[in-house]
Amino acid sequence: MNTFYTFTDKERQNLTTALLRNPHNPYSDYPSFKDFIDTLAVSAAFETNLGKVCNDIVSDRKDNGNHVHILGNCPIDLELPQLDLDNPVSHKYEAKLTFVGEGFMALISQLQRAPLFSYESRNDGDYFTDLVSFNKFKGKKTGFTDGDLIYHSDRSYHPVRADYVSLLGLHVSENELIYTNYMDTKEIKKHLSASAIETLSKDIFETEVDDRSKENNMAWSSSAVHSILLNDDQIRYQDTFTRPLDINNLEATQALLELKHAMSKAAKLRHMVMKGEMLIFGNQTGIHNREWIDVKDADAGRKRWLLKTYSFENIDKATKYKSWATKEDSLCIRDN
């Protein structure tokens, strides 16, 4: 799909220089890192195109109902380690010594007035996580493996879910075609009957917890009961994980089958995130997947590294979920 905005080389270089001045580490001192970015955002909004680009994205969501945007030629770190896939998170802490990508993602969130948040149980509450192929999750039910990934909303089992997910390409092999695809709820609904929409809007479904999330909370196997379709054309669904609470509920099973048919028919947006590209998509306005379309060198495919953030749509939404946050940090979400 088309890029929403591509930064000029000059813009990218200027932003990189500004972001490199941040003396704080986002993994060991996020509050100070974030303070620096918030100050930078004030000048960046006036001195660069960035403020206008962020405002235009927010308007495009509100006015046109578009929830997928791509930014090209974004600032990323000039030196990037090749992560050890046996333990990529601790290796990142040791080997990633600059934080341009993290700063850029924080800056975009600040200028969109869409606060980043983290999960306490994921990487100890880091605001920047990595989409990489962990060796230990090979063949498991989680996004942190290689190969295809079913259509889903991130954390569909959790009461607190991101409104938007951002992915920034750090290591990407251009030869291996790995796509992120998005299907909007409005498109899915075009292929659903009124009665299926009514049934899918009832609290009669549940979603199983994925393997990586279970790793940190073995007691948690499933979500609370929920509906699949939510207000404002939003969706809470993870293919093959979301199912009727009562397997004998024929109405629910039929509606789920109709949803699967609608997913097959619905229009999709498809994009391969390249190095230096940022893909921002709605996590509840639609569902997304990953497809290894044409990967000739699986090892090169497995080395793909995208930096990832979760954000709320606006500050009000962040306030709404405060009761789920840790005592220390109002934007770090607990599992229970």
Query: What is the contact surface with Fe ion in residues (CB under 5 A)?
Result: 154
Residue 119: CB partners within 8 Å, gap ≥ 6? 125, 155, 158, 310, 332, 333, 335
Q: How far is the CB of 305 from Fe ion (least distance, A)?
A: 15
Q: CB-wise, 111 or 228, nearer to Fe ion?
A: 228
Q: Where are the beta strands (DSSP E) in 113-236?
A: 116-119, 129-131, 149-152, 164-171, 177-184, 205-207, 229-230, 234-235
Number of residues that make up the chain = 336
Q: How far is the CB of 138 from Fe ion (least distance, A)?
A: 18
Q: CB-wise, 48 or 121, nearer to Fe ion?
A: 121
Q: How far is the CB of 301 from Fe ion (least distance, A)?
A: 17
Q: How far is the CB of 283 from Fe ion (least distance, A)?
A: 8
Q: CB-wise, 258 or 335, nearer to Fe ion?
A: 335
Are residues 172 and 274 in contact, defined by beta-carbon separation less than 8 angstroms?
yes
| Partners of residue 47 on adjacent β-strands | none
| Partners of residue 305 on adjacent β-strands | 171
Q: How far is the CB of 304 from Fe ion (least distance, A)?
A: 14
Q: CB-wise, 154 or 251, nearer to Fe ion?
A: 154
Q: How far is the CB of 131 from Fe ion (least distance, A)?
A: 8
Q: CB-wise, 196 or 280, nearer to Fe ion?
A: 280
The b-or-e profile of 253-285 (16+ CB within 10 A means b, else e) is eebbebbeebbeebebbebbbebbbbbbbbbbb
Q: CB-wise, 20 or 230, nearer to Fe ion?
A: 230
Give residue number: closest CB to Fe ion: 154
Helix (H) or strand (E) holding 306: strand 305-311
